[in-house]
Amino acid sequence: MTATLLPAEARAPEPPRASAGRRPGRRRVRYALTVLAFMLPSAIPLTAFVLVPMVSAAWVSLQEWNLLAPPTFVGFDNYAKLLNDPNTGAIFLHTLTYIVGYLPLVYIGGLALALALNTRLRGRSVLRGIYFLPVITSWIVVALVWRWLLNPSTGVVNTVLGWFGVAGPGWWTDPAWAMPSIIIASAWKDLGFVMVILLAGLQSIDPELLDAARVDGAGWWRRLFSVVLPLLSPSTFFVIVISLINGFQVFDQVYAMTGGGPGGATQVVVQQIYDLTFRYGAAGEASALSWLLFAVVLAVTVVQIVGQKRWVTYG
């Protein structure tokens, strides 16, 4: 990921070595101090609050601990417990269901929007603003609003469906419809973000290429699939990587819309980590599950980085 998202890294500027001659001494020390002055403000917090907790999570995952009494070392018991628990498979499955439903919706929707709003449309600046509005809104607000829109008995959606003689489903109160409810709300919220990323990508495509394709008689769809999408593949890649990382971490909307219910139908991995820690006082097991999740996210990201060579073209 680092190498591909950052083509600039490859051409890091050459050092203007202060110590070319054999006069190391003070200039060198001064340069080192300058580097430290610029690096430490970020290095200290990132080390203290990301890297240190990361390592200590590994240690906690080997303990049985309720956050109150002193921890007891249990080796890999927490991992064994998780891997033998059928519930673990279920929560990962719920998380995957979320991703599989969410990603196509948000990508195709975002792409259509980006294409539409990249044309000479009157008032497109206002339109872009409106589509971006859900992005800047707190997940909690979005979840509350959607929970209410999708209320089975009094919600707007079922009321409107009723006008057409359709009996709306139970949405978040129905185990079968709870996850689709979360997916709809999530796609609605993130559409504007995907749109912005893809718009930025579209604006860097050389118009000459599209003109050339048009002259060659390529129709709209042909141009979309043969010119635009291949050139947009770095943006698409970015959207997919970010969406998958975020998808595995889905939590806020689940917590606020269903709390993992009804009947555990929307219990996702992070909701489980939260419940294990703060509801059941099983910090060790929660940390083990955290590491399991991190391993999965890392594996998925690495697979994408390796796989991207097949389909991502960097202009």
Partner 1 sequence: MADLALRRTARMRPTGLAASVVLHLVVILGAIAMFFPFLWTIVTSLTPGAGLTLTPALIPSDPSLEAYWRLFAERPFGRIILNSLGLAVATTLAQLFTSATAAYAFSRLPFRGRGVVFAVYLATMMIPLQVLIVPLFVELKALGLVNTYLGALLPTLASAFGIFLLRQAVHQVPRELDEAATLDGAGHFRIFWQIILPNIRPALATLTVFAFMGSWNSFLWPLVILRAPELQTLPVALAGLQGQYTTQWDIVMAGSVVSVLPMLALYVFAQKYVIQGVANSGIK
Residues in 190-249 at the binding interface with partner 1, rule: CB under 8 A: 191-192, 196-197, 199-207, 209-210, 220, 223-224, 228, 234-235, 238, 245, 248-249
Interface residue with partner 1, options 95, 186, 258, 290 (CB under 8 A) = 290
Which CB atom, from 76 or from 148, has the smaller least distance to partner 1? 148
Using CB under 8 A, which residues numbered 114 to 153 contact partner 1? 115-122, 124-125, 127-134, 136-142, 144-149
Q: How far is the CB of 92 from partner 1 (least distance, A)?
A: 14
Q: How far is the CB of 196 from partner 1 (least distance, A)?
A: 6
Tell me if 81 contacts partner 1 by CB under 8 A.
no
Which CB atom, from 100 or from 112, has the smaller least distance to partner 1? 112
Interface residue with partner 1, options 64, 77, 174, 252 (CB under 8 A) = 252
**Residues 179 and 99: beta-carbon distance below 8 Å:** no
Using CB under 8 A, which residues numbered 10 to 39 contact partner 1? 12-16, 31-32, 34-35, 37-39
Contact region with partner 1 (CB under 8 A), list: 56-64, 75-83, 96-104, 164-172: 56-64
